[in-house]
Structure 1
Amino acid sequence: MPFSSNREMILLGTGTSHGVPVIGCHCDVCQSSDPRNNRTRTGVAVQTEQGVFLIDTSPELRIQLLRERIDVAHAVIYTHGHADHLFGIDDLRLFGYRIDHPVPLYCEESVERQIRTSFPYAFPESTAELHHGAIPLLELRRIGLEPFEVLGQLIQPIRLIHGRLPVLGYRIGDVAFCTDVSKIPDESWPLLEGLDVLIIDALRDEPHTTHFGIPQALAAAERVKPRRTYLTHVSHHLEYTATNARLPAGVELSYDGLHIPY
């Protein structure tokens, strides 16, 4: 993807941790011919005037970037350290050499620990005996709840709760990405005011201990009143067309490859 003046978020993946189709499942959604029911694990690419950064690195990252014709990612920001949001990190290996410096990874301390534990080969004490390209060129950068800048774009972290785990959502311009959330703390609601687009977790209709279902996502959208709401981290319990038909105006399921200006 060439750089452009078009600022947009591209939803690389919109599925739950199992993805859709689910291995071994033969339900109507898993066997659907509608490509919008084929959901890879959740992640986002953000196009800026200075390049592309990612939110999370799903296990299907290589496939997602090829599909969207994204040639390089210049940085990554992480929501949390679960496998479905982290384990595509090795697909960054090419990019540090292409941009001729380490790819910065912006994350909280807990996510940094998970990255170092899960990918120790990426942070060797010495590279003297390794061939060129053997390891990813990565640079961990610690973040908290204060705004920070990536590729000239101001990023506002938003504290969310995922079961018992504190995670981050992000506001970029007037678009907020809030995946893997079961509770929005009181102090985070003001950061969601005045949105044009809210992208929010909605696993299924029924309640879940670590994710919003559709009722909770709709309640959040009703409270902050964005112009449009897209539901993400979607399971195989929700068929695209049938679900959209019963959602209120301004709310719809997202799908892999959806482009959203910000």
Structure 2
Amino acid sequence: MKITFLGTGTSQGIPVIGSTHPVCLSANFKDKRLRVSVMIEWNDSTFVIDCGPDFRQQMLRANPDKIDAILFTHEHADHTAGLDDIRPFCFKQGNMPIYAHKRVLEQLKIRFEYVFATENRYPGAPNVSVNEIKNEPFNINGKQIAPIEAMHYKLQVFGFRFDKFAYLTDIKTIAKTELDKLKNLDVLVINALREEEHVSHLNLEQALIIIDRLKPKRAYLTHISHLLGFHDDVQQNLPENVFLAYDQLEITI
């Protein structure tokens, strides 16, 4: 399994528009973060989790031959606003399968009405194949994927487990029953916004507590704000099995 971090930034990305914060002015490519997303290549299948406003740029950088499905964690714009840019894949492959909670699908139908229209469709619109998921395992191309339910303040979100790999972003709290689904991982990806407390995201301390509890072989932090600090400085102070993810990082399991 190969995982490519397409984006590792928070909703504004890094640099933040107009910001003079030192991290936003950094020349280190690891401090430049597009909106959060990840691509998973698992045998002959390619999955993308979330399709935010930087999706086109991310696809040009990663250059995948195909995408077999897009999975959505939740409906916020930094995770969904790039849906129109799936068009090249649709023109090449046909309908793009998308997987999401019922609530998320309903929001996508409002925001991208022309994509889901059944009558008088614009001929250049993307075509999607809609798949509603609940908090129970489902299969794509014969591969089992397990949703992991968590809360993003008061909003339900899904993380996903693929075999020995799990991806959680935009979470603040998670029940013990869901944490139990994350045992015996080779790699855990989890959000860590900044050091200070935040109402809807894990901070660094909280993310490290969960990592210590689950004890994956490796853990990577994502959905990172410029307020967390410079990449290289933060990395020096992390446990030996915990890494700060960065855009275009590729790992294998």
Interval of TM-score (by shorter of Structure 1 and Structure 2): over 0.9
Opposite residue 221 of structure 1, the aligned amino acid is I
Q: Which residue among 196, 199, 216 is the counterpart of 1:206?
A: 196
Where does residue 257 of structure 1 map in the other structure? 248
- Tell me the alpha carbon deviations over residues 193-212 of structure 1, each in whole angstroms, 9 at most, x when there is no partner: 11111100100001100000
TM-score, length-scaled by structure 2:
0.96
Shift of residue 158, structure 1, vs aligned partner: 0.3
Distance 2:240 2:119 in 1: 56
Opposite residue 251 of structure 1, the aligned amino acid is V
Q: Which residue among 73, 76, 89 is the counterpart of 1:79?
A: 73
Moved runs in structure 1, 4+ residues, more than 3 A?
A: none
Whether the aligned pair in 2 keeps the contact of 1:65 and 1:71 (CA below 8 Å) is no
**Residue 151 (1) aligns with residue 141 (2):** yes
Distance 1:215 1:142 in 2: 34
Whether the aligned pair in 2 keeps the contact of 1:50 and 1:152 (CA below 8 Å) is no
Q: Which residue among 106, 112, 117 is the counterpart of 1:119?
A: 112
Where does residue 60 of structure 2 map in the other structure? 66
Where does 1:121-140 land on structure 2 (aligned, <5 Å)? 121-127=114-120, 130-131=122-123, 134-140=124-130
Where does residue 155 of structure 2 map in the other structure? 165
Q: Which runs of 5+ in 2 are unaligned?
A: none
Whether the aligned pair in 2 keeps the contact of 1:199 and 1:230 (CA below 8 Å) is yes
Distance 1:71 1:127, change over 3 A: farther
Shift of residue 239, structure 1, vs aligned partner: 1.1
Whether the aligned pair in 2 keeps the contact of 1:147 and 1:156 (CA below 8 Å) is yes
TM-score, length-scaled by structure 1:
0.93
**Residue 243 (1) aligns with residue 234 (2):** yes
Distance 1:47 1:181 in 2: 24
Distance 1:67 1:55 in 2: 16
Where does residue 3 of structure 1 map in the other structure? none
Where does residue 4 of structure 1 map in the other structure? none
Distance 1:24 1:49 in 2: 42
RMSD, aligned CA: 1.2
Q: In percent, how many aligned pairs have the same letter?
A: 38
Select between 49-58 and 226-235 the one with higher mean Cα deviation. 49-58
Where does residue 92 of structure 1 map in the other structure? 86
